[in-house]
């Protein structure tokens, strides 16, 4: 386990081989590589940091929670059961974590050239000191090495959090979440800053299965009897205030389309009553969501929480996988998304208001230069979230910079978002982003588009300053 094969973790990885670009990229990267990590949006379970117990084993740490990893294996014919992905009905799946890991090792070559491959290499090399590329032959040795390290104090979650130099870690939490894990962390005396983000999707989607239970839970936790649109809004406001009191600086909404429309309270209430009685249809749901985006923007103007929108994912496209294994199993597929017309109502109502910060993400890269950069390059309230999900990759992040910067500049963007469920991958993702940005700016510098002092200011902005400004984290 010592020789570095395959260029794994080469110091200058992901930089253009042209010497003029690479020299500058290394210089810029060196400037920011050790800056603290600010993670303004993600899906790490706060219980990990509240409980601070050892991660049970390598498969549990690296494969089972990470749909980026197991969807690729599934696409090549490996059943999810064989990877230990738990079933909804409790039907049996592979229990032997070594078997799961061996299967992963046998197919590790599938990740060559993918960002998941880049992140995994970083986790293996930088977090666990493993210098070989995973393969069938060394799979069990790697497993044993990681497993052993996970049992040591240096690999407890909080120790890793500190070692990763995470300044802020944001989780994503439902409207009715008690945030007790966040409270436990705060009460523990440990200094790590772990803050919630308010995501009301499950109470906003009035036709989703389980909505009535979600509304009941929201009534319970808010202490507000939700029997009308007015009391629903009141409960939402109540929860936003609670989240804010627990450190939240932002909200998030996952929507199918970013369509926005303000409707009259009476009409909203009529829809809400149909939802309560179980007779709301898809048109009702779409209009209700469109109106709720307006309401959430209004509330953000009032309470100062940064508003995020993540549209354009067709959730649970594969019904078989969804029924058997549940959501977030790698079968959410992007769709074409329209922003110019859809966001107009919201931007006309609040987009000129300096009190609003609206951060928009997309899964449709054709909107970068066509719609999002022109919108962000005009409306004061609008900022662009970074390349997201499938596009959080070397080429994807590069395309984002190339298609956005010339119209919106970098100062209408908000740095990097790791959006991960895989705790150990956080530094890998931020490191990759810093490398890609350094390389992008080095290209501009080597072509004399910008000067070296511009580049130095910009790399720091992209790696650190903009995310703090964009999410009110100063």
Which pair of tokens denotes residue 464?
Answer: 């650190």
Applying CB under 8 A, which of residues 445, 462, 467, 470 lies at the interface with a second copy?
A: 445
Three-class SS of residue 111? helix
Which H or E run contains 311? strand 306-311
Using CB under 8 A as the binding rule, the residues of this chain from 180 to 219 that contact a second copy are none
83 touching a second copy, by CB under 8 A: no
Rounded Cα–Cα distance for residues 445 and 349 (Å)? 39
- Measured in residues, the chain has a length of 474
Using CB under 8 A as the binding rule, the residues of this chain from 323 to 342 that contact a second copy are 330-336, 338, 340-341
Applying CB under 8 A, which of residues 152, 188, 409, 472 lies at the interface with a second copy?
A: 409
278 touching a second copy, by CB under 8 A: no
* Candidate ranges 67-75, 87-95, 168-176, 178-186; the one touching a second copy (CB under 8 A): 67-75
136 touching a second copy, by CB under 8 A: no
CB-based contact 61:98 (threshold 8 Å): no
**Which positions from 84 to 113 touch a second copy by CB under 8 A, shown as an x/- string?**
-------------------------xxxxx
The CA-atom distances, in angstroms, between 138 and each of 142, 143, 257, 278 are 6, 9, 46, 56
Burial of 284 (0-12, 13-18, 19+ CB in 10 A): middle
The minimum distance between CB 12 and a second copy, in angstroms, equals 7
- List Cβ neighbours of 212 (8 Å cut-off, separation of 6 or more): 276, 278
282 touching a second copy, by CB under 8 A: no
Q: How far does the chain reach from its first CA to its final CA, in angstroms?
A: 43
**Which positions from 1 to 40 touch a second copy by CB under 8 A, shown as an x/- string?**
----xxxx-x-xxxxxxx-xx-------------------
Instruction: Indicate the residue among 51 and 94 with the shorter CB distance to a second copy.
Output: 94
316 touching a second copy, by CB under 8 A: no
422 touching a second copy, by CB under 8 A: no
Cα–Cα nearest to 45, from 457, 454, 470, 423 = 423
Instruction: Indicate the residue among 47 and 333 with the shorter CB distance to a second copy.
Output: 333
CB-based contact 254:174 (threshold 8 Å): no
* Candidate ranges 123-131, 192-200, 388-396, 413-421; the one touching a second copy (CB under 8 A): 388-396
Q: In what order do the strands lie in the sheet with 194-195?
A: 37-39, 166-170, 194-195
Instruction: Indicate the residue among 89 and 319 with the shorter CB distance to a second copy.
Output: 319
């Amino acid at each position: 386990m010592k020789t570095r094969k395959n260029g794994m973790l080469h110091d200058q990885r992901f930089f253009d081989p042209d010497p003029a670009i690479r020299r500058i990229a290394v210089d810029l990267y060196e400037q920011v590589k050790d800056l603290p990590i600010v993670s303004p949006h993600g899906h790490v379970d706060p219980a990990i940091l509240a409980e601070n117990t050892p991660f049970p084993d390598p498969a549990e740490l690296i494969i089972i929670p990470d749909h980026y990893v197991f969807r690729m294996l599934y696409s090549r014919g490996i059943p999810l059961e064989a990877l230990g992905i738990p079933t909804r009905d409790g039907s049996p799946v592979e229990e032997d974590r070594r078997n799961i890991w061996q299967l992963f090792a046998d197919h590790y070559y599938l990740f060559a050239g993918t960002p998941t491959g880049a992140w995994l290499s970083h986790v293996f090399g930088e977090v666990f000191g493993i210098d070989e590329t995973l393969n069938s032959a060394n799979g069990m040795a790697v497993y044993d090495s990681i497993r052993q390290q996970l049992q040591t104090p240096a690999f407890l979650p909080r120790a890793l959090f500190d070692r990763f130099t995470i300044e802020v870690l944001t989780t994503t939490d439902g409207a009715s979440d008690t945030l007790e894990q966040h409270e436990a962390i705060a009460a523990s005396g440990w200094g790590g800053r772990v803050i919630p983000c308010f995501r009301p999707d499950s109470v906003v989607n009035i036709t989703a299965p389980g909505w009535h239970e979600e509304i009941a839970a929201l009534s319970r936790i808010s202490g507000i009897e939700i029997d009308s649109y007015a009391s629903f809004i009141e409960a939402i406001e109540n929860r936003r205030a609670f989240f804010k009191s627990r450190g939240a600086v932002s909200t998030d909404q996952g929507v199918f389309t970013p369509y926005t429309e303000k409707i009259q309270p009476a009409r909203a209430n009529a829809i809400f009553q149909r939802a309560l009685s179980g007779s709301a249809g898809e048109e009702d749901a779409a209009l209700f969501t469109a109106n709720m985006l307006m309401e959430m923007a209004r509330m953000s103007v009032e309470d100062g929480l940064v508003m995020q929108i993540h549209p354009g994912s067709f959730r649970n496209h594969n019904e078989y996988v969804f029924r058997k294994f549940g959501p977030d199993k790698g079968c959410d597929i992007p769709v074409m998304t329209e922003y110019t017309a859809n966001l107009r109502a919201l931007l006309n109502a609040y987009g000129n208001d300096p009190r609003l910060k609206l951060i928009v993400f997309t899964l449709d890269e054709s909107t970068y230069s066509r719609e999002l950069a022109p919108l962000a390059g005009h409306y004061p309230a609008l900022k662009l979230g970074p390349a997201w999900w499938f596009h959080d990759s070397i080429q994807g992040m590069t395309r984002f910079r190339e298609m956005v910067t010339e119209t919106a500049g970098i100062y209408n963007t908000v740095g990097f978002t790791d959006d991960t469920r895989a705790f150990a991958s956080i530094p890998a993702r931020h490191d990759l982003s810093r490398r890609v940005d350094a390389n992008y700016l080095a290209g501009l510098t080597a072509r004399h588009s910008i000067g070296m002092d511009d580049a130095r200011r910009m790399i720091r902005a992209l790696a650190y300053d903009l995310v703090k400004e964009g999410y009110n984290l100063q």
